[in-house]
Amino acid sequence: MEHTSPFERIIRGVLIAAVLLFFLFPILWIFLMSFQTNEQVLRIPPSLFFSPTTINYTSLVTGKLQTAAGSLDLAFMRNLGNSVLLSSVSVALALVLGVPAAYAFARFKFPLSEDIAFTLLSFRFAPPLLVLLPLSLYFQAIGLDDTYIGLIWVYQLIALPLILWIVRGYFEDISPDIEYAYRIAGHSWLQTFTRIAIPLARPGIAAAGLLAFIFCWNNFVFALILASADKQPVTVGALAFVTASGIQYGQIAAAIVLSVTPTLALALFAQRYLVEGLSLGAVKG
Amino acid sequence: MAQIELRSLTKSYKTGKVLKGVSLVAEQGEIVCVFGPSGVGKTVLLRLIAGVEELDAGAIFLEGRDVTDAPPETRGVGIAFQNFALFPHMTAFDNIGSALTAHGASASIIKAKVEKVAALLKITHVLSHLPRALSNGQKQRTALARALAADPKIVLLDDPLRNVDAKLRYEMRLELPSLLRASGATVLYVTQDYKEAMAIGDRIAVLVDGRFEQIAAPPAIYRGPASVSVARLFGDPSINLIPIKPKATKDGAVCEIGGATVSLAEIHAATPGRSLLLGLRPESLNVSDQQAPDSFPVEVMAVTPLNEKTVLLLRTHDGQEIFASEAGVENETRQPGPAFARFDATRALVFDEASGARIEGRA
């Protein structure tokens, strides 16, 4: 790093700029699109210069979509609320279940422990479509079809393995002697877990929870199949913009901007935590 | 009543058997140093007593109560780990107080007890700090304070001075015995430094090859080690062991060392005809330019002045290397070259070559 020629520095700058442009341009374009009418979006050639309009945002918030064919009702704000509800309750449940399980896998050697832990992780490998058809049939049979509870249950497939494996690494990094010291001082196993292990693993738990929240938020296919319009999150709700009279690009862009904002804000806010949390948990001391 | 009683404890790991029947009885107020080379199972022994590892066989009695299967929080011991094991998210005060919160003590009692033990260990000024803001010495004292705060009847200390610097180690070696004695607790003190064991212990339990090879007061262990392996662990440089085969003559037993005949008449343990090891502490060897009765010729190979003593590396004429040490450095004229060595027969030890056991010699 110390011995770089000006030429190398220039090359590096150009390459970094190219990568940034590659990844960030679509986001910039979406952001610009969200302030254009459908006609402006579909102009050929496209132009960076236009007179901005907030019509897309107002129609999303008021729930009335004006198209050439007439007025259409939109459930976008409700979808946004569903996303918040589904993601946060799913992550909360996954934390309640996953953190104690992670502790058990980290601290206790019981028969098949590695196999069970790996099986849980393998839920992340399987393509969701593989389980969705049988799952939707079962859900219809037992009445969980098109309910928040059913969706939150299925979202555990996303959140639980993630939390389990990240937090487990964190618990493994805590020296067992620290926990022993607390127990020998006269505290029960449960007190040691809640007052020593959980506080010490807190950065890892926070990072895992945040990541699980983002993954739940971004999920599309589970809700698409298992929920009807009033239970769907924004990812599925955005389909409503593909109307009989055409695709509402402006509103889609505005919807994307609105739905990305919470997770983006969360990720930026916790960026340091996230990077530290994920890397620390992975490396054993 | 014995405060700590261990009955033939055994413990194996996948790598092999670590403890092969360890027994010990320690009385009220006694400090027993568990001493042995590293990796011999000293820490495992403490963990078994604290209840964080499970025994394979044997029984543990603390304060007369069988705790063999009791969970750690019910055993009522205080422990200080070698790596301190402080709670990183709690202040020094809360760390020390953790032993008291478990028993439902009121905030004012906790405060009083923590401050008392902190004053004793001179860490009052850092009580509000988190462990990461403490120096190694302060961490070590905090860990010690935590072990003592709840006035446990039994205190287990796992090499508490290992991770502190040499100066502090010396200070603590002087302070610790009186501090521990004042607490009135029965203490098991693990160390792998024989000097520390001799400075701190009322008795030393020498753990060798999964068993206590000898349990005795420090001077008794130094002067009368039970076996070659115990003798080797005490002393720096370590004891010289010279294989001999005494022969009977009309003036008593003699043996041959480096081509010279040396009288063993004063060493009653030296039975003629047996294969023995003559154990000579470096400080009981006398090196001189002049030949004297019962001296044997040596070549001084190297002279190492160490301020308070000078260590000589000698080679006998049959090729054995032995150490001698002389008090002080007054003999600055000492040069490598031929010389004669003589040993103090009253301080010589005799071991059976085959078994390594020491042979008592006083008839």
With a cut of 60, say whether residue A284 has pLDDT above it: no
Question: Which DSSP state fits A63?
Answer: T
Q: Which of B75, B87, B110, B130 to mutate to test the interface with A (most CBs of A within 10 A)?
A: B87
- A182: which chain B residues are within 8 Å (Cβ-Cβ)? 87, 98
Q: How far is A191 from chain B, CA to nearest CA, in Å? A: 9
With a cut of 90, say whether residue B32 has pLDDT above it: yes
DSSP character string of A163-223:
HHHHHHHHHHHS-HHHHHHHHHTT--HHHHIIIIIHHHTHHHHHHHHHHHHHHHHH--HHH
Q: Please answer whether residues B344 and B282 qualify as being in contact, where contact means their C-beta atoms are separated by less than 8 angstroms.
A: no
The reported pLDDT for the residue numbered A123 is 80
Structural domain harbouring A110: 76-283
Q: Which of A109, A177, A184 to mutate to test the interface with B (most CBs of B within 10 A)?
A: A184
Give the CATH number for residue A99: 1.10.3720.10
Specify the 3-state DSSP secondary structure of B214.
strand
Q: What is the pLDDT of residues A200-222, one digit of tens each?
A: 898 889 889 988 999 999 888 88
Arithmetic mean of pLDDT over chain B: 89
Q: What is the pLDDT of residues B213-268, one digit of tens each?
A: 999 999 999 989 999 999 999 988 899 999 988 888 888 888 888 888 888 878 87
Between A38 and B74, residue with greater pLDDT: B74
Inside any domain, residue A175: yes
The reported pLDDT for the residue numbered A279 is 56
* Mean local confidence (pLDDT), B81-96: 91
- A178: which chain B residues are within 8 Å (Cβ-Cβ)? 85-88
Q: How far is A250 from chain B, CA to nearest CA, in Å? A: 50
Cis peptide before B237 (omega within 30 of 0): yes
Supply the angle between the helices A271-282 and A249-269 in degrees, to the nearest 10: 60
Between A248 and B64, residue with greater pLDDT: B64
Token pair belonging to B67? 């705790």
* Mean local confidence (pLDDT), A26-46: 86
Q: What is the pLDDT of residues A40-49, one digit of tens each?
A: 888 888 777 7
Beta-bridge partners for B299:
B315, B338
- What distances in angstroms separate CA B47 from CA A178, B21, B54, B195, one per listed residue? 13, 16, 9, 24
Beta-bridge partners for B343:
B285
Q: How far is B78 from chain A, CA to nearest CA, in Å? A: 7
d(CA B294, CA A66): 119
Within an 8 Å CB–CB cutoff, is residue A197 touching chain B?
no
Token pair belonging to B255? 């043996």
Supply the angle between the helices B136-148 and B166-183 in degrees, to the nearest 10: 10
The domain tally of chain A equals 1
Q: How far is A192 from chain B, CA to nearest CA, in Å? A: 11
d(CA B342, CA B256): 13
What's the pTM value of the predicted model, to 2 decimals? 0.80
State the Cα angle at B331 between B325 and B337, rounded to 5°.
75
pLDDT band per the 50, 70, 90 thresholds, residue B336: confident
DSSP character string of B133-169:
GS-HHHHHHHHHHHHHTT--SEEEEESTTTTS-HHHH
Give ipTM to 2 decimals.
0.83
Inside any domain, residue A32: no
Nearest by Cα to B274 from B353, B360, B355: B353
Q: Which of A15-24, A126-135, A155-164 has the lowest mean pLDDT?
A: A126-135
Between B144 and B251, residue with greater pLDDT: B144
Beta-bridge partners for B243:
B277
Inside any domain, residue A265: yes
Inside any domain, residue A130: yes
Nearest by Cα to B68 from B150, B10, B14: B10
* Mean local confidence (pLDDT), B273-291: 89
Nearest by Cα to B341 from B324, B320, B318: B324
Inside any domain, residue A140: yes
Specify the 3-state DSSP secondary structure of A61.
helix
Residues 61-90 of B with CB under 8 A from A: 71-79, 81, 83, 85-89
Exposed/middle/buried for B27, CB within 10 Å: 0-12, 13-18, 19+?
Answer: middle
Within an 8 Å CB–CB cutoff, is residue B169 touching chain A?
no
Inside any domain, residue A62: no
d(CA A42, CA A47): 10
Inside any domain, residue A5: no
Q: Please answer whether residues B49 and B77 qualify as being in contact, where contact means their C-beta atoms are separated by less than 8 angstroms.
A: yes
Inside any domain, residue A128: yes
Which residues lie closer than 8 Å to A134 by C-beta, 6 or more apart?
Answer: none
